[in-house]
Every structure is written in C-alpha cells, then in structure tokens.
Amino acid sequence: MPYFPMFVNLRDETVLVVGGGSVARRKVLKLLPFGPKIRIVSPRIDPDLARLSEVAVTQRDFRAEDLLPRPAMVIAATDDREVNHRVFRLCREREIPVNVADDPDACTFLFPALVHQGEFCAGISTGGASPTAAIYFKERLQGLLPENLDELLSWLEEQRLTLKRTVPEQARRAGIFRRMFDECLERGRPLTREERENCLKDFSGGSVSVVDAGGKRAGNITVEGLQLVQRCQAVLYDDSVDPALLEAAPESADRIALEPDAEEDPQTIGNRLAELARSGLRVVWLRNGGTPVPAAAADPLREAGVPWQTVPEAVPADCQLLAGIRVGITGTEEIARKQRRAFAALGAQTHWISRANVKERDLSWFWDEAAQSAGWLVFTSANGARIFGEAMKRGNVSPRTLSGWNLAAIGPATAGMLERYGLRASLVPRVYTGRELALSLAQQAGRGEPIWLLRSAIGTKTLPDLLKERGFAVREIPLYDLEESRTPQALPELNYLTFSSASGVDRFFGTYGGVPEGVRCVCIGSVTAQALERRTDAPFLLGDDISVSGMVKAIVRDSL
C-alpha cells in the first residue's frame, strides 16, 4: 500500500538522529534546508557530520531518555539492526514519527527522493519498493523545471499578495493568476510591467483551443494538444475521438459530448465555445479531420472577443526521447518557448543559448498606406504575424482596413496566428519554404499586383529575389529587428543544438566560435542548413518541414 504524501513544517522543530555515519550524514543534509534543530546521538561521529555547525552532537550510545523532550521525528541510522529496532519500538510506543534507514517495515514515514529548488519542493516515493525508480523520476522532473524557478516563484508570490488587495472577485483573481503563471512558465522569466498589465487589461476569463484529436488513437494527439487537454476546464468532443483521450482532462473539467451531426452546424458549436469561454473557462474542442476551423465556428469567437488558437500537427505524444538527452536551443524567445515546451514534454532537458531579443518596429504609418492600396501581404513567420496582429490591436485597426489585400502565410502555424487576429490567409503553400511560397505567389498573384513582405529586418533574399525575377514589384516592410541578448559564458553539456534561422547560425558561431565535438546540429530548413554548411563540415539533421515540430521529429528519430 502506498504512503500518503504530506508536507511538514520543520522550522525550529527538534529532529533526533540516532547514528553518526555516512547514512546519518545524508539524512541530515536532506533535512537542513528545511530549518529543523537537529540532535545527533552516536558513539562514533563522521568527521564531516561533526563539522556541521547547525547540529548538536552527543557522542555516546542511544538512551531512552534521548526521546525527551519529545522530538518532531526520529531517524535511526546506525549499523546495528538491534539498536535501530529498539529506537523504532520506543517511538511507536510514544507515537513519535520514526524512520529506520533501509528498513521500510520499521518506518512510519519514508524519506522521498526530493526535488528542491527555492520554495518549490516535490517528494517522490515508491513505498520503498524501488529507490532506483524514485531517483529516475526525480531526474525526469528536474529536467522539466525552469532554470530560474526560484525567481519565478518569488515574483508570483508578490503578485498573489497584490492581486488579493486589488481584485476582490476570487474567480477572476484565480483566472488572472493562472494566466500570469502560464505566461511566466512559457517565457521562462517573470513578466515585465507591460506584460503584467496586459494580463490584467485583456483578461476575459476564458479561452478556446481547437485541437486535432489525432484520429481514433489517443497516442496520436500532439504534445501541445495533450498539454492543453490536461489543463482545460471544459472539453467538447464527438464519437470520433478516442475515449481514452478524455481521461487526460482534469477530473473537474466539464466533458461535453457533441451530437453525431454537430459538425454540420459549426455556428452552434462556435456559440457554445464562446459561451463557455466567456463564463471564465479554458475550453478545448477536440476534433478530427484537420485543424482548420470552419469560418462559421470562428466568427462567434471573434465577435465575442474570445482568445482562441488552433494546434497544428506536431510530434505524437507517445514519442519519448532516451532519458538525459540535452538540447541546446538558439533563437528568439518565441521559438525557444515552443521548443522547450515540446522537448520537455518528451523527456529532454533544454538550455536556451545564443539568445536573440525581438525589437518591434513602429507600424503606425502603415495602416493609412495599406487602406489606399491592394495586392498581397506576405507573412513568413508566426512571430511576424503576432507582431502585426498586436500592432493592429494597439492602433484599434479593424481587419476591414485590409479588405483590398490577399494574405499569404508560409505555413499553417503562421496562418493560425493570423486567424487569432481575424485575418485569414488565402494562400499557404504545401511545402513550407520561402521558395515554395514564391512559386505559389507567382501562380496566384495577378501581373502587376504589389507584394509586400512583412517579416524580420534581416530576412534572407531568397523570397524577394525569386518574385522580382518573375516581374513582381516587391516591397519589404520590416516588422522587427533581432538584437543579441545575454548568453551563457560557457556552453553546457549538450547532445543536440537547434538552429531556426541563418542569422541564428551566425550569432552562435560569432559568440562560441564552433560547435563542440559530439554535438549534433539540427536545422529548421534548407536556408538555415546552407548557413551552417558555410561554417562547418560536420553532419547535421534537417527537419521534414520548416517548423519546430519538424526539428523535434528529427531528433526523436535520431535518438531512437
């Protein structure tokens, strides 16, 4: 039968340790960070243990009177089984919690495998059945924690106290705090003042995520989709969804079955989703048959001002990486956040190195010009689409301002980001490369139609050059610049190193000079690969498509 986990406040409480060897020392070192008053009784004391100023040592054999005054707990860690069992019997008679080292049958509590980082503490136990298994899961959990978790928790504690004073409604306060927590976790840092204010200003209580259920097999759902199901407060589904997938939702989540013919009435579904989200719930709509959302279902969400997203195809959740794999990530916070989330869910440890900050450019001039023109607006990244959409919100610009324009997106992730701001891409190439985007535009755009490229200020020339060769007037409109951010002085031990842009390759080699021996590089696409080939002759991996999921899949295959 498993032990019930509970957390005990040991600050200034007395803990008696009977024994003075290496086992006792390990137990004492585990306890010291939690602030107890430790007394040690043993005829022989380990020198390292004797040097600890935080403990009181009595160098003699254990006596029954050592249990007075009554300690909060007792640990028997001698090499004498008879002494250990005598301590156990005396403690049981006096109803004192007792742990006998390496003897689960003589314990009223066990020492768990601890994951301790600042105020965060998790204990893992197998009931004494397998300490090795407990250590294994401890290491997996450690790999999932942000590197600066203590900083995040301290900041969140400050915000909790502030919100209690400024937001009296408990449900709204809990929703805002959960949003702050989620954004901190995704960004890997405390929020800036502006980001915090946006959480307060834009909070509408709920959101909608449209997740492809992966067919009839629950294991085919994407990693991000599974995480959304695990955090949702309501889930909509029909009989095409594997029932096992619903078990991943929290026990408290509402499970709402749609009628078999409900897909034929997407507006009804959209109204239901909007109603649930406006009541303050995080909603997941599980559906098969592809992620694009019918317009009739999306319109009620937009009209209600409900934030929503679609989750494109990614790595199946049942693909796991060999424990201990370390992945170095280069690039912007946006792409690093996606990679860290995907790799952590697959069991890998991640390190964000060679970082780049996004500095958005002013677009206030753009809207008047766009309203007087027509042609094609082309987006080459989800990050650019997000920056464009946020600029629209700040300027109170309606999507109708762009009614004379067709929109093109390099891939479904970029198209999905545009949809979040009420913008619909009419062109998405089947292969997500700049070359394929140029060829698709050349086929669909009318001769003489203006083409405006909205992207990074340091985008490659492949796309505009191909369009110009075909006679199109191309205007490049930089949405943002990339600035070097602080990077680790020394590289950690790595198995893989991901590059998501040619400029990221250049920044990394400019900082570190080269890739350490034994580290396999992974490129997001052919342009990035060409930049890497100019720097090194070492073999590398290439994703199936230009996406985070493509790089993740490449590493999964290589590690098997």
Q: Label residues 387-400 b or e (16+ Cβ within 10 Å = b).
A: bbbebbeeeebeee
Looking at the predicted structure, is the pLDDT value of residue 71 above 90? yes
**CA–CA separation, 532 vs 434, rounded Å?**
18
**pLDDT at residue 163, as a whole number:** 86
Half-sphere exposure of 220 (CA within 13 A, CB side): 13
Cis bond before residue 36 (omega within 30° of 0): no
Query: pLDDT over 90 for what percent of the chain?
Result: 33
The residue ranking higher by pLDDT, 257 or 279, is 257
**CA–CA separation, 214 vs 292, rounded Å?**
14
> pLDDT (tens digit, 9 = 90+) per residue, 9-61?
999 999 999 999 999 999 999 999 999 999 999 999 999 898 888 899 999 99
Model confidence band, residue 203 (pLDDT cutoffs 50, 70, 90): low
**pLDDT at residue 363, as a whole number:** 93
**pLDDT at residue 487, as a whole number:** 65
Q: In what order do the strands lie in the sheet with 375-379?
A: 405-409, 375-379, 451-456, 474-484, 349-360, 326-332, 496-499, 520-523, 540-542
DSSP H or E stretch at residue 329: strand 326-332
Query: What's the topology of domain 360-483?
Result: Rossmann fold (3.40.50)
Hey, what are 35's tokens?
Answer: 């602030």
Model confidence band, residue 323 (pLDDT cutoffs 50, 70, 90): low
**pLDDT at residue 14, as a whole number:** 96
The residue ranking higher by pLDDT, 165 or 45, is 45
**CA–CA separation, 40 vs 57, rounded Å?**
5
Domain 207-311 indexed as CATH 2.30.40.10:
no
Domain 14-111 indexed as CATH 3.40.50.720:
yes
**pLDDT at residue 76, as a whole number:** 97
Model confidence band, residue 320 (pLDDT cutoffs 50, 70, 90): low
**pLDDT at residue 488, as a whole number:** 65
Mean pLDDT of 494-507: 91
> pLDDT (tens digit, 9 = 90+) per residue, 95-114?
999 999 989 889 999 988 89
**pLDDT at residue 171, as a whole number:** 61
**CA–CA separation, 240 vs 235, rounded Å?**
14
What single-letter amino acid sits at 229? V
**CA–CA separation, 1 vs 14, rounded Å?**
29
**CA–CA separation, 389 vs 377, rounded Å?**
13
DSSP H or E stretch at residue 477: strand 474-484
> pLDDT (tens digit, 9 = 90+) per residue, 87-97?
999 999 999 99
Looking at the predicted structure, is the pLDDT value of residue 83 above 90? yes
Looking at the predicted structure, is the pLDDT value of residue 260 above 70? no
pLDDT averaged over every residue in the chain? 85
> pLDDT (tens digit, 9 = 90+) per residue, 368-385?
999 999 999 999 988 899
**CA–CA separation, 407 vs 435, rounded Å?**
17
**pLDDT at residue 188, as a whole number:** 76
Model confidence band, residue 276 (pLDDT cutoffs 50, 70, 90): confident
**pLDDT at residue 315, as a whole number:** 52
Nearest Cα neighbor of 385 from 420, 358, 361 is: 420
Looking at the predicted structure, is the pLDDT value of residue 447 above 60? yes
**pLDDT at residue 317, as a whole number:** 52
Mean pLDDT of 148-162: 87
**pLDDT at residue 313, as a whole number:** 53
**pLDDT at residue 348, as a whole number:** 82
Q: Alpha helix (H) ranges present in 242-331? A: 243-246, 266-278, 295-304
Instruction: Specify the CATH architecture of the domain 326-357+486-559.
Output: 3-Layer(aba) Sandwich (3.40)
Mean pLDDT of 57-68: 96
Model confidence band, residue 128 (pLDDT cutoffs 50, 70, 90): confident
